[in-house]
Amino acid sequence: MRHLSAEAKGSSFWDRVRQSIGPARVERFIDVVSRLTGAVARAMFVVLLICTPSLLLPGVTQDTTQMVVLVGLFAGLITLIEYGSTYPCLIEFRNAPPFNRVRFLSLFVTIFLLSIIFRGLYEPTTLTRFVQAVGHLVGYVIDFPYSPVRLIMLLVPDQSNVEHMNLMRAAVGVSYLVSLLTLAVFMIVLRVMGWPNRTQAFNFWTNLPTFDPTMGADVVTRLNRDARFNIALGFFLPFLTPAVARSASGLFNASMMDSPQTLVWMISIWAFLPASLFMRGIAMNRIADMIDEKRMRGARAVAAGLLPA
Q: For the chain, how long is the longest CA-to-CA vector?
A: 92
User: In this structure, which long-range contacts are made by residues 209-217, counting pairs with CB atoms below 8 Å and at least 24 apart in sequence?
Assistant: 209/88, 209/89, 209/90, 209/91, 209/92, 210/90, 210/92
| pLDDT beyond 80 at 57 | yes
Q: How far apart are CA 155 and CA 237, in angstroms?
A: 16
Contact 183, 275 (CB under 8 A): yes
Rounded CA separation 178/207 (Å): 25
Closest CA to 153 of 133, 176, 180: 176
pLDDT value of residue 148 = 87
pLDDT of residue 2: 46
Of 4-13, 68-77, 96-105, the poorest mean pLDDT is in: 4-13
pLDDT for 44: 96
- Residue 251 carries which DSSP code? G
The DSSP call for residue 160 is: -
pLDDT at 21: 58
Contact by Cβ (8 Å): 84, 42: no
Segments making up each domain of the chain, as ranges: 23-86, 94-303
- Is residue 79 within 8 A of residue 50, CB to CB? The reply is no
- Range from 17-26, 41-50, 290-299 that averages highest in pLDDT: 41-50
Q: How far apart are CA 104 and CA 44, in angstroms?
A: 13
pLDDT (mean) for 81-85: 89
Query: pTM above 0.75?
Result: yes
CA angle 277, 145, 119 (to 5 degrees): 65
pLDDT, greater one: 202 or 20: 202
Please give the Cα distance from 247 to 252 (Å, whole number).
11
pLDDT band at 174 (very low <50, low <70, confident <90, very high): very high
Mean pLDDT score, 6-19: 53
